[in-house]
Structure 1
Amino acid sequence: MRVLHRASPWRELFAGDGQPELAKLLAPLREALDELGPSPDLPVSHAWQLRLAEALQRLDLPAWRISQLISDHNDQLYRRAIQLSLSEMQGQGWGKPPVGFCVLTLGSAGRHESLLGPDQDNAMIVADYPDSRHTEIDGFFQALGERFTARLDEAGIPLCNGHVMARWPMWRKRLSEWCEQLSLWTRERRVKRVQQSNILLDFHPVFGDAGLAEALAEHVARLMPRAGLFLNEMAQLLDELPVALNRFGRLSASDEDAPHEKALNLKRQGLLPLVNAVRLLSLRHGVSVPDTRLRLSALVLKEALTARQARAGISALDRLQERLLAAQLASLKVGGAADGWIDMVRLEDDQRLLLRHDMQAIRSLVRLAQGSVGGR
């Protein structure tokens, strides 16, 4: 077997006797940006993300950082789609927004942990206004929500099958209504309300008045540590997404919807259990940062995790993202989809051992999260 090796451009930093040529060092990224051009439309810009991911890999960036940058790029696409929609509405006589508002990205986008191929998960907070103006004001923001989500769909970020988008009243509310809804959801342990909250509680302001998002975050911080029944149901729901291990602690892939034999849904059986467990621990202990890596570190400061447990969680997250990104890139290159599946047959023995180790660390975090609220 012939092993091909591509030298890292970072190794060129001190290869000569003088100062390094930064332009050469960053050539992969510069070339990718040159291909994109100065003013691409939304579909072209979104399709370019594959090229961006390859360039960032060539620069030796880890998958977690590439994930952040892909998420940042998606934020930019959101802002452009919203600005285009607002301009279109103004040209059609709608005028300017009647009150302040803030569009939120949710889930992996809100945590800035998106890889390639996410769908839309978004919401909108509208500044409080009198009920007498509801038809007028909500009509404006409904039209805005429909327009910008349609633009993103046309660009290649598909509409959410679960309707978690600002075009729907469920995910477009006044600030006081959002606060009231969360207060209502957290009073009882109902599965549907917990599932909806899991989507909502990882949010990031992407456009508009960020103060509205800050106000909602403050309400969540006051509410969640006292919501015992709600957190207990959240803990029980962790069993709905079991880690990819059998009862003997060996790797075990789910057969549900598998595209082929020996396929493992790394997102569903690895990343999501980890993310959900860390979110639960963060809500329980009043950690307000949104992304999983920072949450794990913050939980150490809260003495909810040991430094060793946090490091194990961060390492597992990093390696799972690395493995999933590699699988997505390989799939896209042959005309496939950027989904959550990996092929177990393609893993080397050491990769299998590391994956098993990471799954065991994730299962330990899940059990710890359940135990923190009496969820088992």
Structure 2
Amino acid sequence: MKNTISERIADFLKNYPPFNAMDSKQLEKLSLEVVIIHKESNTIVFGENEKPHEQFYVVNKGAIALSKEGSSQILDICDEGDVFGLRPLLAHENYKLEAKAYEETILYAIPIKDFKPLALENKRIGNFLIESFASNTGNPYSIKHRGKLYGTNNEEDQFSTNKILDLQPIKYSTDLISCNEGTKIKTIANKMTKHNVSSILVEKNNLPVGIITDKDLRKKIATGLFPITASAKTTMSTPIITYPKDLTLAQSQMAMMKSNISHLVLTEDGTTDSPAVGILSKHDIMVAVGNNPAVLLRAIKRATDFKRLRNIRHGIMNLLRGYLDQNIPLGLVSKIISELNDASSKQVIEIALSKMDEDLPVKFTWLSMGSQGRGEQLLNTDQDNAIIFEDVPEEELEKTRNHFLKLGESITKGLNIIGFDYCPADMMASNRSWCRSLKEWKEITAHWIHNPGSEEILLSSIFFDYNVTFGEKALADELSHSIFDHANHYPQFFVHLASGALKNPSPSGFFRDFLVEQDGEHKDFFDLKLRALMPIIDAARVLILSHSIKSINNTAERYEKLAELEPNNKELYLACSYASKALLKFRTRQGLLHNDSGRYIALDKLNKEEKIKLKRTFKTVKEIQSLIEIRFQVKNLIR
């Protein structure tokens, strides 16, 4: 006789790492040993410094908050599919954090004695655990290295600066999903699923009379207490607790704790005698107080419209400010913010796809290029993106392209709404020149490589700094192979690429004075991007490509790899790595200070220390350009 419970456990676990690396027999065997644990809200799973249990945990439903004991600061939230409590079992150490149910939660407890042999014989599971240890996080694939933020000795200090004041009004969702008292539960569940919400308001005569949440469906319907054909009136929580719409963050937290509820209904005057204007959930409060990458990532994935994503991106900027204020290493900051930027872009694409009138005819890839492709887009700078779609017969090409142009227009508009400016040069997937079939992209990039004028060099260089944000990675890989194949069969291309890297103007003149813009909108401003950042970025690209290294896009990481490959130039390359991070950090600070891209710097606003730090990088810029000129024998350059 089959064990249906273990089958359900296996069906759940197979969707999440490291269990997705197991074959079906291994997973079935392990699932037989899993114990299901139910935790009420605010109950402890394990405490800080407690000896490790004989099992680790996977969240099936609900959420687990990880924090330092006695601290109100939540360091991480584990929700559906997240693994926690595994590292101490393998490292033979006590728990470093307290794990507490943030809401009513169902856990799968997995015995370490049954799991460990599978990890030893399965290389993919072993790799997962190694990366997990290296990044000090339960799931290294959720946000790269996020756990390093919590692995130091001063965790409290790192998150002590909260940019969001407790007494400011809380932001809430105004997109109310409602029903009437006679609506059937099945209809309600479908409606909640469609709109990706955790609650639905029950109204009578346009006034709130009750609320139904995920918790109600679990406790009252899934348990069989009420049939799925029951009405909203029989299962809703009533009377509801209402508050005024200008509720503050502190008030909302206290209100939920006081009444032990997870959703607040906000009305015009704070009573049930006025229409509802919004619903506030625990998750909304988590995002407001969190300033935590894991919390922000989950908020991004749950966003169902561009407006909601735009609000979440304000939290990302607050997170960035906090990291810079606390002098978190920029390499780590870049990885985290880049992950959040990629997640935001991916969610924009998901939303745009959900709004399409018809299915797309073939598979496609969305490429994020430029600074986002290099993992260096910290501020909300302009977009650079492209679409590659599968090849189709010639007679269907334009019709197919029009489908993807429509999608590209929707996505670039969504990216603009959430804070990414349109590209001034129109290098975006809404432009037919940047929306092509795989065959077309191969042909045009081959043309650029074999006919390397200044414009062709600029266009081709973009395709060495891209990131697959969404879709079929195989399409991008095939294009990448084609580009490298043509480049390797035409070595002169690298000379032209080096020439392009030397065309950006020098950052300084005689006596190391800053060279500023002579006319135009930014007259007397210093162009940090064109005169300092781009020479460093362009040099890294041509040097790393000359070594046939195509797996590293980030500028600082390219120089670190070059330092390994060329020990005789190690000092210069490490100086370039440092300079790239210093310049990016400087630009980010300026952008946050002036609420712009940080590209153009008003020198009279800088203090002496800031000017000195900038000038230190100029020597490195000139040295790397000199190396490029000599190595690739670039002559008669326009400097």
TM-score of the superposed pair, with normalisation by structure 1? 0.83
CA–CA distance in structure 1, aligned partners of residues 608 and 580 of structure 2: 20
Cα pair distance change 1:260/1:85, threshold 3 Å: same
In structure 2, do the counterparts of structure 1 residues 103 and 29 end up closer, same or farther at CA, with 3 Å as the change threshold? farther
Structure 1 distance, partners of 2:329, 2:500, is 31
Identity level (%):
23
Which residue identity does 1:267 align to in structure 2?
K
Match of 1:158 in 2: 421
Counterpart residue number, 1:143: 406
Find 2:338's aligned residue among 71, 74, 84: 71
8 A Cα contact 2:557 2:577, kept in partner: no
Q: Deviations over 1:199-230 (max 9, x none)?
A: 23211100001121222222233232443443
| Amino acid across the alignment from 1:369 | I
The aligned residue for residue 269 of structure 1 is: 531
- Within-5 A mapping of 1:1-376: 24=156, 27=159, 34-35=287-288, 38=299, 39=302, 41-89=308-356, 92=357, 94-95=358-359, 97-257=360-520, 259=522, 261=524, 263-288=525-550, 289-303=552-566, 306-332=569-595, 337-376=596-635
Equivalent AA in structure 2 for residue 190 of structure 1: G
Q: Relative to structure 1, is the Cα distance of residues 256 and 361 closer, same or farther in structure 2, using a 3 angstrom cutoff?
A: farther
Shift of 1:299: 2.2
Superposed CA RMSD: 2.8
Q: 1:144 to 1:236 in 2, by over 3 A?
A: same
Q: Secondary structure at the match of 2:355?
A: helix
CA contact (8 A) 2:287 2:315 kept: no
Matches of 2:548 and 2:564, distance apart in 1: 11
Q: How far, CA to CA, are the matches of 2:609 and 2:160 in structure 1?
A: 30
* Deviation, structure 1 residue 235: 2.7
SS in structure 2 opposite 1:102?
strand
Residue 330 of structure 1: how far off its partner (Å)? 1.4
Cα distance between partner residues in 1 of 2:565 and 2:587: 31
The verdict on how the C-alpha distance between 1:177 and 1:135 changes in structure 2, with shifts beyond 3 A counting, is closer
**1:249 to 1:35, Cα distance in 2 relative to 1, 3 A:** same
- Write the letter of the residue equivalent to 1:127: E
| TM-score, L = length of structure 2 | 0.51
User: 1:347: Cα distance to partner?
Assistant: 4.3
Give the stretch that moved more between structures: 344-353 or 124-133.
Answer: 344-353
Q: Tell me how far apart the structure 2 counterparts of residues 304 and 80 of structure 1 sit (CA, whole Å).
A: 42
Instruction: Give the corresponding residue for 1:15.
Output: none
Q: Per residue, is there more strand in 1 or in 2?
A: 2
Structure 1, 301-310 or 187-196: larger mean CA deviation: 301-310
Structure 2 unaligned residues grouped into runs of 5+: 1-70, 72-94, 99-149, 165-285, 290-295
SS in structure 1 at match of 2:450: coil
* Structure 1 residues 259-294: Cα deviation after superposition (integer angstroms, max 9, x where no partner): 475x32211211111101111222222121111122
The equivalent of 1:3 in structure 2 is none
2: CA distance, partners of 1:236 / 1:310? 19
Choose 317-326 or 251-260, whichever is displaced more: 251-260
User: How many equivalent residue pairs?
Assistant: 351
Counterpart contact for 2:514–2:526, Cα < 8 Å:
no
Measured in 2, the distance between the counterparts of 1:64 and 1:294 equals 9
Matched residue type, 2:348: A
Give 1:257 deviation, angstroms. 4.2
State the Cα distance separating 1:349 from its structure 2 match.
Answer: 4.2
Report the 3-state secondary structure (helix = DSSP H, G, I; strand = E; otherwise coil) of the residue aligned with 1:105.
Answer: strand
Asked whether the equivalents of residues 163 and 318 of structure 2 are also in contact (C-alpha less than 8 Å), the reply is: no
In structure 1, how many angstroms separate the alpha carbons of the residues matched to 2:605 and 2:536? Answer: 23
Give the letter for the 2:629 counterpart. Q
Letter of the 1:27 partner, please give it: F
Taking a change above 3 Å as real, the CA distance of residues 226 and 300 of structure 1, as seen in their structure-2 partners, is farther
8 Å Cα contact 1:79-1:207 kept in structure 2: yes
Summarize the Cα distance change of 1:258–1:141 in structure 2 as closer, same or farther, 3 Å threshold. closer
Is the alpha carbon distance of 1:159 and 1:258 closer, same or farther for their aligned partners in structure 2, counting shifts above 3 Å? closer
Residues 297, 223 of structure 1: CA spacing in aligned structure 2 closer, same or farther, 3 A cutoff?
farther
Bigger mean CA deviation after superposition, 282-291 or 248-257: 248-257
Please say which structure displays the higher CA radius of gyration. 2
Q: CA deviation at 1:29?
A: 8.4
1:64/1:322 contact within 8 Å kept: no
Counterpart contact for 2:457–2:496, Cα < 8 Å:
yes
Gaps of 5+ in 1: 1-11, 13-17
- Partners of 1:126 and 1:227 in 2: CA distance: 27
**C-alpha distance in 2, partners of 1:130/1:141?**
16
In structure 2, relative to structure 1, the CA distance for the partners of 1:30 and 1:211 (3 Å cut) is farther
Cα deviation, 1:56-90, whole Å, max 9, x if unaligned, reads 2244313343333332222112111111111111x
Per the TM alignment, residue 122 of structure 1 is displaced from its structure 2 partner at its CA by 0.2
Deviations 1:174-208 (A, max 9, x none): 22221221111111231111121222321110000
CA distance in 2, matches of 1:49, 1:260: 32
- Aligned-partner Cα distance in 2 for 1:342–1:167: 31
Amino acid at match of 1:280: V
* Whole-angstrom distance in 2 between the partners of 1:211 and 1:75: 18
SS in 2 for 1:114: coil
